[in-house]
Amino acid sequence: MSLQGHIVELQRRHEALKKEIEEEQLHPNADELKILELKRKKLLIKDELAKLSVSETRH
């Protein structure tokens, strides 16, 4: 997969996690541990996107 394709896939996964978090938070008895885990995954993807963005601008 090309670098750009990898970035697009990460962006797609980031957006999907964002929607999943929003949906989970709508439930009156939302699972806080699940929400925290989803947010952690989303943050990891955001960090990876930032690293890829920096490396892409250097090349």
Given the structure tokens 């957006």, which residue do they identify?
Answer: 15
Total-model pTM: 0.86
Q: CA-based angle 18:9:7, to the nearest 5?
A: 105
Stretch 36-58: mean pLDDT, rounded?
Answer: 91
Rg (CA), the chain: 14
Percent of the chain clearing pLDDT 90 (strictly above): 80
Backbone φ and ψ of 28, nearest 5°: -60, -30
- Cα distance between residue 28 and residue 42, in whole Å: 22
Comparison of pLDDT for 53 and 47, the residue scoring more: 47
pLDDT (0 to 100) of residue 48: 96
Farthest CA pair distance, the chain = 48
Comparison of pLDDT for 49 and 1, the residue scoring more: 49
Residue-wise pLDDT tens digits, 2-30? 889 999 999 999 999 999 999 999 999 99
